[in-house]
Amino acid sequence: MITSNRMNNLHPYVPGEQPKDRVYIKLNANENPYPPCKQVIKAVSKFVKTNPMKMAVYPDPDSNELHAAIADMLNKTGGVLCRAKVDGKHCEPSEEDKIPFTITPDMIYSGNGSDEVLSFVFYAFFDSSKKFVMPQFTYSFYPVYAGFYNIPMDTVPLKDDWSLDTDEMLSRAKNNAGGIIFANPNAPTGIGLKRDEVRKMLKSANPDEIFIVDEAYVDFGGESCIPLLAEFKNLVIVRTFSKSLCSAGMRLGYIVANPELVNIVTTVKNSVNHFPIDAVAQVAGKAACENPWYYADCAKKVAEERDSFYNFLKEKGFYVIKSETNFLFAKKDGVKGEDLYKAIKAEGLLIRHFNTPGIEDFVRITAGTKEQMSALRTAFEKVIG
Ligand SMILES: *Cc1c(COP(=O)(O)O)cnc(C)c1O
């Protein structure tokens, strides 16, 4: 019988369920409830119709046009869509999100979803000789990569209010000398660190060790650390098209970092898969970046629904954390997360619960459209009373 020793270190990530047995309202995987903008659909249709040969030949391995479009979008939005100032199709950063320099395409690396990008970042910057530091509760794919690449990890418990224990993370990072990663805002809690708090961390962290901030959710109301790239050469910011850019199905993610670090990750990519982003996804991603006004509007609507459902949960006696993301993390005394999930599923809606010790009481609820959230309210009233 064939066995594989490598399997011992593999503990695959389990994504939010995508059931096929019936049509559910999906509020379990932090996807965007809105489709990509019309310009994306038009660009993709036109591309496949007029350039069929572009699907017969290899795409641009380095997605150069996409990188230029991503850089441009970040310069126009400050990297926080929900606060961007929109006037018709014109978009500019809010005062607090202004980036004090211009992001250039050589500061961008992109890949097949930020999951793949993260995996290459782990491979490039962490190694088996030193522990890297991460919060105990954060994106649950990080420990999966650690197992895959055989990198030891040092997990730091959250504080009592579920926020990051930044002092403890720093002191462990100093002991280990192996780098830091966390999501900001964090998942599944929804709590963000202010840019100044991250700056303080970076100032006392070892400048020769990598410092990775995963900004998957920052467009819904957090503070981006992109402005800190001018001050800190060890900072890598990871972002995705899956949440705020309505494109989880396209599989597009990227990093923003100094060009030297971008080159390192590009070398990893070219040692695994030259062409992680197909020709169609490159076109779709570029068109999305050219229309940030649309996604800013979507992010604002989602944030509004999130805050209004926060109030609803409070009224219903839930413990619920104020969120800067597109989801809420909540629990109610005497109600198990899994039981609530099952009861809501029976009403035709999917939310997420966790079997991880310490957060089994919680559910994570993605903010959807007004109509979806109204259906969810009805289901909660029926189930909770
Ligand atoms: C959703 C998510 C990702 C992965 O996004 P993809 O680009 O779809 O692979 C990465 N990090 C965090 C924290 C996420 O929530």
For residue 242, report the distance from its CA to the centre of ligand 1, in Å.
7
Residue (of 102, 114, 70, 59) closest to 291 by Cα position: 70
Q: How far apart are CA 84 and CA 81, in angstroms?
A: 5
For residue 1, what pLDDT is reported? 86
- Please provide the average confidence, as pLDDT, over all residues in the chain: 96
The C-alpha angle 190, 306, 312, rounded to 5 degrees, equals: 110
Give residue-wise pLDDT tens across range 308-345.
999 999 999 999 999 999 999 999 999 999 999 999 99
User: What beta strand segments (E) does the chain contain?
Assistant: 25-26, 85-87, 90-92, 108-111, 132-135, 153-156, 180-183, 211-214, 235-240, 253-257, 319-320, 327-331, 349-350, 352-353, 363-366
81 and 299 Cβ atoms separated by less than 8 Å: yes
12: pLDDT confidence band, cut at 50, 70 and 90? Answer: confident
Q: Is 262 helix (H, G, I), strand (E, B) or coil?
A: helix
Give residue-wise pLDDT tens across range 279-303.
999 999 999 999 999 999 999 999 9
Question: Does 242 contact ligand 1 (Cβ within 6 A)?
Answer: yes
Question: Does 361 contact ligand 1 (Cβ within 6 A)?
Answer: no
For residue 22, what pLDDT is reported? 80
| 29 CA: nearest ligand 1 atom | 1
| 252 CA: nearest ligand 1 atom | 7
Give residue-wise pLDDT tens across range 148-162.
999 999 999 999 999
35 and 246 Cβ atoms separated by less than 8 Å: yes
Peptide bond preceding 100: is omega within 30 degrees of 0, i.e. cis?
no
Give residue-wise pLDDT tens across range 56-108.
999 999 999 999 999 999 999 999 999 999 999 999 999 999 999 999 999 99
Phi, psi (deg, nearest 5) at residue 75: -65, -35
| 248 CA: nearest ligand 1 atom | 8
Mutation test residue for ligand 1: of 242, 252, 364, the one with most atoms within 8 Å of CB: 242
The DSSP secondary-structure symbol of 194 reads -
Percent of the chain clearing pLDDT 90 (strictly above)? 93
Question: Does 253 contact ligand 1 (Cβ within 6 A)?
Answer: yes
The pair of three-digit structure tokens given for residue 307, joined into one six-digit string = 């805050």
**Residue found by looking up tokens 């500019």 in the block:** 92
178 Cβ contact list (under 8 Å, min separation 6): 126, 127, 129, 130, 131, 132, 133, 152, 154, 209
pTM of the model: 0.97
For residue 57, report the distance from its CA to the centre of ligand 1, in Å.
29
- Helix (H) or strand (E) holding 292, with range, is helix 292-315
SS3 of the chain: helix, strand, coil, percent, to 5: 45, 15, 40
For residue 310, what pLDDT is reported? 98
Percent of the chain clearing pLDDT 70 (strictly above)? 100
Give residue-wise pLDDT tens across range 90-103.
999 999 999 999 99
For residue 239, report the distance from its CA to the centre of ligand 1, in Å.
8
- Helix (H) or strand (E) holding 303, with range, is helix 292-315
Residue with the smallest CA separation from ligand 1 atom 11 is 216
For residue 201, what pLDDT is reported? 97
**Residue found by looking up tokens 């990530």 in the block:** 13
CA torsion sign for 159, 164, 165, 169 is: positive
The DSSP secondary-structure symbol of 157 reads P
Q: Is 91 helix (H, G, I), strand (E, B) or coil?
A: strand
For residue 309, what pLDDT is reported? 98
Residue (of 75, 129, 70, 90) closest to 286 by Cα position: 70
For residue 172, how far is the Cα from the chain centroid? 25
Peptide bond preceding 33: is omega within 30 degrees of 0, i.e. cis?
no
- Helix (H) or strand (E) holding 301, with range, is helix 292-315
For residue 133, report the distance from its CA to the centre of ligand 1, in Å.
19
Question: Does 234 contact ligand 1 (Cβ within 6 A)?
Answer: no
Give residue-wise pLDDT tens across range 190-237.
999 999 999 999 999 999 999 999 999 999 999 999 999 999 999 999
Question: Does 244 contact ligand 1 (Cβ within 6 A)?
Answer: no
The pair of three-digit structure tokens given for residue 90, joined into one six-digit string = 């014109």
74 and 67 Cβ atoms separated by less than 8 Å: no
For residue 212, what pLDDT is reported? 98
Side-chain-facing half-sphere of 220: CA atoms under 13 Å: 38
14: pLDDT confidence band, cut at 50, 70 and 90? Answer: confident
Question: Does 337 contact ligand 1 (Cβ within 6 A)?
Answer: no
